Structure 1
């Protein structure tokens, strides 16, 4: 039962904030924030790499070279991240997942942010 929220998220290609933390800590997931640089600068998940959605296809491979690592895609509310998961998977990142609810869910879970 403890894994139920994570399993539900995995079925939709999205993780809860708690599931995301576990993925980062246990499997060294790479966090990619697809918001615009101005949004990213206001606060982001610690260690996140900023690759705006409109540049994802061109720049993801140069930003995240190891396609076997889990990829956690973050945006403001989760809507853009869900679209980005499809792009990432098309590029060979089989373990790409979106953060359900985006950065808002991360903040709501009282998880730390870093400002650029």
Structure 2
């Protein structure tokens, strides 16, 4: 079972690969106001800089989300263009139901 377990707005289980990195691409303030437990905050407007600086492992599975979905879609595009192969857009946090949202 995945380390992240939640239901989509359609109430279907969202299955994530074991060890997937969950990325919240909202602003730091949005992240501080509540996020999915285990997520890291890589704001969309800083994503390229973060990738250059942190050099994350492009072979891992990545799941991105934002408030409503559009920024997550843009982040997925940035990651794929940077050479990441396994990137999933989970949409918006507002559409996700998770028992562990802070």
Range of TM-score over shorter length: 0.7 to 0.9
Residues 56/36 of structure 1: CA separation in 2 closer, same or farther (3 Å cut) = same
Question: Which ranges of 4 or more aligned residues in structure 1 deviate by more than 3 Å?
Answer: 61-64
RMSD: 1.8
Task: Give SS of 1:73's match.
Answer: strand
Per-residue CA shift, 1:40-69, capped at 9, x if unaligned? Answer: 001111111111111101103544622111
Q: Is the 8 A contact 2:36 2:98 kept in 1?
A: no
Per-residue CA shift, 1:57-99, capped at 9, x if unaligned? Answer: 1103544622111100110011110111010001111111111
> What is the TM-score of this pair, normalised by structure 1?
0.70
Q: Does 1:49 align with 2:27?
A: no
- Specify which of 79, 85, 99 is matched with residue 94 of structure 1: 85
Q: Does 1:105 align with 2:95?
A: yes
Q: Does 1:35 align with 2:26?
A: yes
**Hey, which of these two has a bigger chunk of helix by percent?**
1
**Hey, which of these two has a bigger chunk of strand by percent?**
2
